[in-house]
Amino acid sequence: MNDKNSSAIDLSELTAHHTKLQHVRDRVNTAVGAGSQPIRAMAFGLFAARYGVDCDEVRAECETTLRDALDATDDHIEGVRVWRDDVDMTEQEAVTMFEELTRDE
């Protein structure tokens, strides 16, 4: 929206927002992939094996959180896509209706 008083939705801004959300999704998905690698108990050596177990428990919790974030991102992207498509369809319908009205004159 370029005009603060305008209630119209700028389709190009909505499309740009959708694209940015897809990039965010890619980043979250990368984090999920990185967070899904288990930490071996011996990752910190024999005397600190317990730290490896503790770290893996935390990693697993973080992976769950990241997967939840990925699901939420997917839901939001789908919602914006539907909104964008609806705005586009509404704009096209308005143009078609206006063309039909002016054609009859």
Q: In the chain, what is the greatest distance between 2 CA atoms, to the nearest angstrom?
A: 89
What residue ranges in the chain does DSSP mark as E strands? none
pTM: 0.69
Residue pLDDT tens, the chain, 105 long: 445 545 578 888 999 999 999 999 999 999 999 888 888 877 788 888 888 888 889 999 999 999 999 999 999 999 999 998 888 888 778 788 878 788 765
Q: Are 26 and 50 in contact (CB under 8 A)?
A: no
**What does the alpha-carbon distance between residue 61 and residue 78 come to, in Å, rounded to a whole number?**
26
